[in-house]
C-alpha cells in the first residue's frame, strides 16, 4: 500500500468518530477559506537559513547541509500525530534513494526535549529530526497556524499537552509541508496542503530531485 493509500485508510478509520470529523473539517475548511496557502513560501524563493538542535543536542545549520547538496525540509506536527507517523515511516524507507541522488533529508517539529528523540527512535530514522523551537522556521516559511477551537478541545481531551511538548502555550502547529531546496537554498519544489492527511509522496519527492539541474 502506497503512502497516500495508507493515509486515506487512517483518515477513513478516524473520521468515523463524529468529534474527530468535526475538528478535522473545521481546521481544513477554515485554513482553505482564509487563504492560508498563499502565505507559504513559493518556489524559487530563498528558504530562510536556520540553526536548530537535533536529538543529540548538536546544532544543525541549513547552510552546512546545503554545502553537501540539495536539502529536503519536511515539517511534521509530532509523533502524537498518526498521519505524521505514517509519513515518517515512508521517508525512512525512501532515504536510501534520496541519498543516492545526493540530497539530505531533515524533519522539523515544534516538539522539544524527549518528544523529538521519541520520533527519531521510534522510526529508526537516520536523518536528523530537529526541534523548530517556538516554530521560528515554520513561521518564516509561512506554514504555521494557531490550533482552532474544536481541534484544540479534541487534543486536550486525549491528553496532548502542547505547552509541555513545545515549551510554550501558543498552541501553534505547522502544516506538514515539504520543501526541496537546491544547492543555493532556493525552493525548487514544494508540497503544502491545509489537509494534514495529505502528504508529499516518496515518488513525488524523488521525481522532483531528479528534475534538479546536475551540479557544475
Residue 18 lies in a domain: yes
The number of folded domains in the chain is: 1
By residue range, what is the domain housing residue 136? 3-210
Model confidence, pTM: 0.95
Residue 215 lies in a domain: no
CB 111 within 8 A of CB 84: no
Phi, psi of 133 (to 5 degrees): -60, 125
Q: Could you read off the pLDDT of 67-86 as tens digits, one per residue? A: 999 999 999 999 999 999 99
Residue 142 lies in a domain: yes
CB 192 within 8 A of CB 175: yes
Residue among 128, 1, 19, 137 at smallest CA distance from 65:
128
Residue 112 lies in a domain: yes
Instruction: Pinpoint the alpha helices (H) of the chain.
Output: 3-14, 18-33, 62-66, 82-100, 114-123, 136-141, 149-157, 162-166, 202-210
CATH number of the domain that residue 166 is part of: 3.40.30.10
- Average confidence (pLDDT) over 9-33: 95
For residue 214, the model assigns a pLDDT of 65
For residue 148, the model assigns a pLDDT of 93
Residue 216 lies in a domain: no
**C-alpha angle with apex 65: 102 to 123, nearest 5 degrees?**
75
For residue 1, the model assigns a pLDDT of 61
Q: Could you read off the pLDDT of 171-182 as tens digits, one per residue? A: 999 999 999 999
Amino acid at each position: 500500500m502506497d503512502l497516500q493509500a495508507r493515509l486515506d485508510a487512517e483518515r477513513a478509520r478516524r473520521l468515523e468518530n463524529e468529534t474527530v470529523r468535526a475538528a478535522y473539517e473545521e481546521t481544513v475548511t477554515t485554513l482553505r477559506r482564509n487563504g492560508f496557502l498563499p502565505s507559504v513560501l513559493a518556489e524559487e524563493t530563498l528558504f530562510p537559513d536556520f540553526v536548530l538542535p537535533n536529538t543529540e543536542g548538536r546544532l544543525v545549520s541549513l547552510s552546512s547541509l546545503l554545502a553537501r547538496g540539495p536539502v529536503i525540509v519536511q515539517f511534521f506536527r509530532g509523533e502524537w500525530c498518526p498521519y505524521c507517523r505514517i509519513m515518517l515511516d515512508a521517508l525512512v524507507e525512501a532515504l536510501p534513494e534520496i541519498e543516492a541522488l545526493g540530497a539530505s533529508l531533515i524533519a522539523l517539529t515544534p516538539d522539544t526535549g524527549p518528544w523529538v528523540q521519541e520520533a527519531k527512535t521510534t522510526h529508526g530514522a537516520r536523518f536528523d529530526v530537529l526541534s523548530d523551537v517556538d516554530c521560528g522556521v515554520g513561521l518564516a516559511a509561512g506554514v504555521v497556524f494557531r490550533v482552532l477551537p474544536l481541534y484544540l478541545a479534541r487534543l486536550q481531551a486525549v491528553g496532548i499537552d502542547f505547552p509541555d511538548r513545545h515549551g510554550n502555550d501558543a498552541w501553534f502547529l505547522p502544516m506538514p509541508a515539504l520543501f526541496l531546496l537546491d544547492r543555493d537554498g532556493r525552493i525548487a519544489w514544494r508540497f503544502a496542503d491545509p489537509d494534514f492527511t495529505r502528504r508529499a509522496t516518496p515518488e513525488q519527492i524523488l521525481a522532483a530531485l531528479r528534475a534538479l539541474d546536475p551540479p557544475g
